[in-house]
Structure 1
Amino acid sequence: MLTDYHNHLERGTLSLQYLKQFTDQATAKGIEHFGISEHAYHFYQTKNILSNPWVDARRYYDMEDYKSLFHQAWDNGIDVKMSIEMDYTPGKHEEMAEFIRGYDFDYVIGSIHWVGDFGIDLGEFKHEWELRDIKETYKGYFDQVVTLAQSNLFDIIGHLDLVKIFNYVPTDEQFLLEQYERATTALANSKTCVEISTAGLRKPVGKLYPDPRLLKLCYQKGVPIVLSSDAHVPDDVGRDFDEAIALARSVGYTSLMTFEKGERKEVTLGK
């Protein structure tokens, strides 16, 4: 079987017509388990969790409208999972837990896009990479991977090494492997799955998330995986999944995890 659990409607509308473009593409690609996971920061209900000028300018959805869209889809026989991608925010564990408990999500993705006030994957902040210490940023990023896992709030961690998006990578190999080691140990001691995301192939780094060495450690420590495209337009659903499947198999994976109403089930990895 195949999953594509990380997808966004933000470039279109919260409408059944637009949602169906995504689900139709998933069906055409043979993806049996498909979900939408809109960014939590778009919703008014998350203002007490993550708030800064960049985020607040993009907060324009209400969770009631989001829920209603999924109920419309289910009433029309469309099989789509309801999820959210939440920016993991240190110091806001209680607020994140309260938000997650408030909705009947099939699964919840936790992702790291901010290291302090630095939006690591945002074009508007790209110049900051030249001004900051790369190792310091990486350590801050992987500090959050560890505490995200330890929080046990999330079913999946999104794009595990997103920090490499603009191809700024520490040249100190030992340092990098130390970050991978502590991150995967924390993930192995949590309920959190790792996604193999094809989105990195469409970014400046031009590589899958996560790095093969990082994924190999996940496999060795028994961390389950899902496949995701992080599609922001329908045509990107399931894109480059042949490469994601090849990477999964190359480190030893033969199964995926699926989710429904918070319950997980292991299935055989498709071709």
Structure 2
Amino acid sequence: MPTDYHNHLEKGTLTLDYLERFVNQAREREISHFGISEHAYHFYQTKDIVSKPWMEERRYYDMKDYVDLFHEAWSKDMDVKMSIEMDYTPGRHKEMESFISSYDFDYVIGSVHWVGDFGIDLAEYRKEWERRDLYEVYRQYYDQVVTLAESNLFDIIGHIDLVKIFNYIPNDEEFILEQYERATDALKNSKTCVEISTAGLRKPVQRLYPEPVLLKMCRSKGVPIVFSSDAHEPSHVGADYGKAFQQAREAGYTSVMTFTKGERKEISF
């Protein structure tokens, strides 16, 4: 009974027909717990939380339309969870909490995509990696992972080691392990689960998120997991899950967390 909790409609439309294509793919791949978690920056209601020029060009949704879509889906017995993926924004905890509590989400994903004005996973910013101090970017990235966990606002942290996306990775193993340790120390004291995401296999790094050693640290500290594909098109729903299951089992996991209206339940896989 796997999960796929991290998926996006942004390449299509907020319509029942497009949503149904995702739900059907999840059913075909026998995914029992499926959800959509659109990027929060697309919505007018998050402007007071985070506003960057790149985002403002892509802020074109209203939360009312989003919520209405799910109610329409549920009225037709479509099995889909309603979620959001929020860009974790330091200094905006009250604003994030207010937004999250305003909607009846099944769960909420928090992710780190920005280090200051640097969109670390965006092709438009890729040249910035050559201009910046790699160790400082990593340190600041994991600073946010730590405070994201400490905020206890989120049910899931998305692609916890996204910072590796373009294969810019420090050679200092001790430094990397230090970042992993402080991230997992923060997570073990929070409600936040870690997703095993197959999206990294479709990125330049061509690796799962998180790295095996980081996932084993999560397991040793009792941090729960979910499975996600981070699909931006229907065909990617549940993609490469065999590799995700294998990595989870190698780390010692035998169960995943599921969510319904904020309530969590652990199930075996």
Output the TM-score relative to the length of structure 2: 1.00
How far off is 1:37 after superposition? 0.1
User: SS of the counterpart of 1:216?
Assistant: helix
Q: Per-residue displacement from partner, 1:103-151 (whole Å, max 9, x unpaired)?
A: 0000000000000000000000000000011110000000000000000
How far off is 1:80 after superposition? 0.3
* Equivalent residue, structure 1, for 2:64: 64
User: SS of the counterpart of 1:35?
Assistant: strand
Q: Per-residue displacement from partner, 1:183-218 (whole Å, max 9, x unpaired)?
A: 000000000000000000000000000000000000
Alignment of structure 1 residues 24-35 onto 2, 5 Å: 24-35=24-35
What is the number of residues matched between the two proteins? 269
Q: How far apart are the structure 2 equivalents of 1:158 and 1:123?
A: 19
The runs of 5 or more residues in structure 1 that have no matched partner are none
User: SS of the counterpart of 1:168?
Assistant: coil
Q: How far apart are the structure 1 equivalents of 2:259 and 2:142?
A: 26
* Equivalent residue, structure 2, for 1:136: 136
Q: Per-residue displacement from partner, 1:6-32 (whole Å, max 9, x unpaired)?
A: 000000000000000000000000000
Alignment of structure 1 residues 45-124 onto 2, 5 Å: 45-124=45-124
Q: How far apart are the structure 1 equivalents of 2:7 and 2:141?
A: 23
How far off is 1:232 after superposition? 0.2
* Equivalent residue, structure 1, for 2:212: 212
Q: How far apart are the structure 1 equivalents of 2:133 and 2:260?
A: 41
User: SS of the counterpart of 2:223?
Assistant: coil
Q: How far apart are the structure 2 equivalents of 1:176 and 1:52?
A: 29
* Equivalent residue, structure 2, for 1:224: 224
Q: Per-residue displacement from partner, 1:70-99 (whole Å, max 9, x unpaired)?
A: 000000000100000000000000000000
* Equivalent residue, structure 2, for 1:9: 9
* Equivalent residue, structure 2, for 1:242: 242
Q: Does residue 199 of structure 2 align to residue 199 of structure 1?
A: yes
Q: How far apart are the structure 1 equivalents of 2:31 and 2:205?
A: 26
Q: Does residue 183 of structure 2 align to residue 190 of structure 1?
A: no
* Equivalent residue, structure 1, for 2:179: 179
User: SS of the counterpart of 1:208?
Assistant: coil
Q: How far apart are the structure 2 equivalents of 1:46 and 1:56?
A: 11
Q: CA RMSD in A?
A: 0.3
Q: How far apart are the structure 1 equivalents of 2:146 and 2:118?
A: 18
- Aligned-residue identity in percent: 71
Q: How far apart are the structure 1 equivalents of 2:13 and 2:54?
A: 21
One-letter amino acid of the structure 2 residue matched with residue 215 of structure 1 = L
One-letter amino acid of the structure 2 residue matched with residue 163 of structure 1 = V
The runs of 5 or more residues in structure 2 that have no matched partner are none
One-letter amino acid of the structure 2 residue matched with residue 24 of structure 1 = N
Output the TM-score relative to the length of structure 1: 0.99
Q: How far apart are the structure 2 equivalents of 1:224 and 1:52?
A: 32
User: SS of the counterpart of 1:227?
Assistant: strand
Runs of 4+ residues deviating >3 angstroms: none
Q: Per-residue displacement from partner, 1:139-174 (whole Å, max 9, x unpaired)?
A: 000000000000000000000000000000000110
Q: Per-residue displacement from partner, 1:210-246 (whole Å, max 9, x unpaired)?
A: 0000000000000000000000000000000000000
Q: How far apart are the structure 1 equivalents of 2:235 and 2:111?
A: 23
